[in-house]
Amino acid sequence: MERDNTFSVTPMNQMIKLQPGEVFLTSITVVNSVNSAGEFSYKAYVVPYNVLSGEYDVDVTTMTGRTQLVDWVTILNPTGTLAPNETAEVELEIQVPENVAAGGQYAAIVVGVDDEKSRTQSGTTIRNVKEIASVIYANVEGETVHGGRVLENNIPGFAATVPVKVEAMIENTGNTHEVAEVTIAASNLLTGETVLPTEFDDGKYSEIVMPETTKFVTREINGLPMLGIVKISQSIYYNYAISTEEKVVVICPIWFMVLVVVTLMAVIAKVVGVVQKHKKAGGCRRAV
């Protein structure tokens, strides 16, 4: 069985602070897995990093006032070759202009790897190229504006399926990115069991909210019973304020509700039949 070239890039994102006029050095690391099929070559390049409000679909083609960072980044060693279990440090030099405005600047360093396999289809050679991006969240120091709040913090009161989803809507009205710290807890009210946090999942995660956007966040809670009553809470620490929601959630699958309805209808039909039978029996006795 053939093995693929498997690689990774670390860190997947980094937050840095920049001063106007400075030269800032940073780096990312490309790793060829020990289980990789063999040696491969890579190439790194920089693209703008934008997101669209709501679902946060990524746009890596449009240049805006928040993606000038692309023009400031020089990749000092953009290409290389790695054998299995080898790593390489890709060095980045960021030259910040003197007169740049304060606030967030965003770019992604994309590492592309050709796994050296090709196939021919309809006379066309197709190469399997894989890419991974490492996002740079930069904040140019100066008159930084922090603003925004948690607009929605939602937990459903009823769920027909598991896992149960909890949601939030977070806005950022400032000129730089912000980090929302989310903590989720869940327990089974019928058994007293703690579902979240666990030994392997502390129920905590972070969300980066880009300037002048609103981010829709959803999270699935695993390990809940298919039928039962649970308590779920979600706390969001954002911009020095906490939004907390707690709710008792009834989990009842559709098939169980249908079964209950059918059973009730059968019981009602039987009761009605018994009542009608007694009425007829009583009428017959009076006639005699």
Average pLDDT over residues 192-212: 96
- CATH topology of 7-140 equal to that of 150-251? yes
State how far the Cα of 246 lies from the Cα of 239, in Å rounded to an integer: 21
Indicate if the pLDDT at residue 142 is higher than 90.
Answer: yes
243-256: pLDDT as tens digits: 999 999 999 998 87
32-72: pLDDT as tens digits: 886 766 788 999 999 999 999 899 999 999 999 999 999 99
Higher pLDDT residue, 285 or 159?
A: 159
User: What is the pLDDT, as a whole number, of residue 1?
Assistant: 39
- Select the CATH number that applies to the domain covering 150-251 from these four: 1.10.1740.10, 1.10.3720.10, 2.60.40.10, 3.20.20.80: 2.60.40.10
Chain-centroid distance of CA 199 in Å reads: 21
State how far the Cα of 102 lies from the Cα of 63, in Å rounded to an integer: 17
What residue segments make up the domains of the chain, in order of their start? 7-140, 150-251
* Sequence-ordered list of residues with C-beta below 8 angstroms from that of 102, at least 6 positions apart, any chain: 140, 141, 142, 143, 144, 175, 176
- What is the third-level CATH fold of 7-140? Immunoglobulin-like (2.60.40)
145-201: pLDDT as tens digits: 999 999 999 999 999 999 999 999 999 999 999 999 999 999 999 999 999 999 999
Percent of the chain surpassing pLDDT 70: 89
